[in-house]
């Protein structure tokens, strides 16, 4: 995956990541790299929906405060108050405790 990322082969990298995610739980670093790449490439509202779905996979796959923080940051960046409450609710459902301070 590092080679695909370095060569800028975005579509092949997305396919490889998706295939790997279906077989194995990804590490925090792999999720954060994938999310960063998708956020950089996102420009249309449809892309933001796909990114939200990717965030949902990430937080289900791996318990990671940096991933949750990035998820909330993405929501705040796009000024989606309703979605912010949804993500906050998902944190409580998944983790059963208070969100850490940023």
CA neighbor of 14 nearest in space, from 28, 34, 31, 30: 34
Give how far Cα 94 sits from Cα of 1, 20, 76, 90, 97, Å: 29, 23, 20, 6, 9
Per-residue pLDDT tens over the stretch 24-35: 989 999 999 999
Residue 51 · residue 38 · CB < 8 Å:
yes
What are the boundaries of each domain within the chain? Answer: 27-95
**What pLDDT, in 10s, does the model give residues 53-101?**
899 899 888 788 899 888 888 877 766 666 666 777 777 777 766 655 5
Find the range with the poorest average confidence among 8-17, 35-44, 85-94.
85-94
Q: What is the pLDDT of residue 30?
A: 93
Q: Does the predicted model carry a pTM greater than 0.85?
A: no
């Amino acid at each position: 995956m590092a080679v695909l990322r370095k060569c800028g082969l975005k579509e092949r990298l997305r396919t490889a990541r998706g295939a790997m995610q279906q077989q194995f739980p990804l590490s925090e670093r792999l999720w954060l790299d994938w999310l960063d790449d998708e956020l950089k490439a996102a420009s249309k509202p449809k892309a933001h929906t796909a990114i939200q779905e990717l965030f949902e996979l990430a937080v289900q796959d791996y318990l990671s405060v940096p991933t949750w923080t990035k998820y909330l940051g993405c929501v705040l960046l796009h000024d989606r108050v309703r979605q912010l409450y949804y993500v906050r609710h998902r944190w409580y459902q998944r983790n059963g405790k208070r969100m850490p301070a940023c």
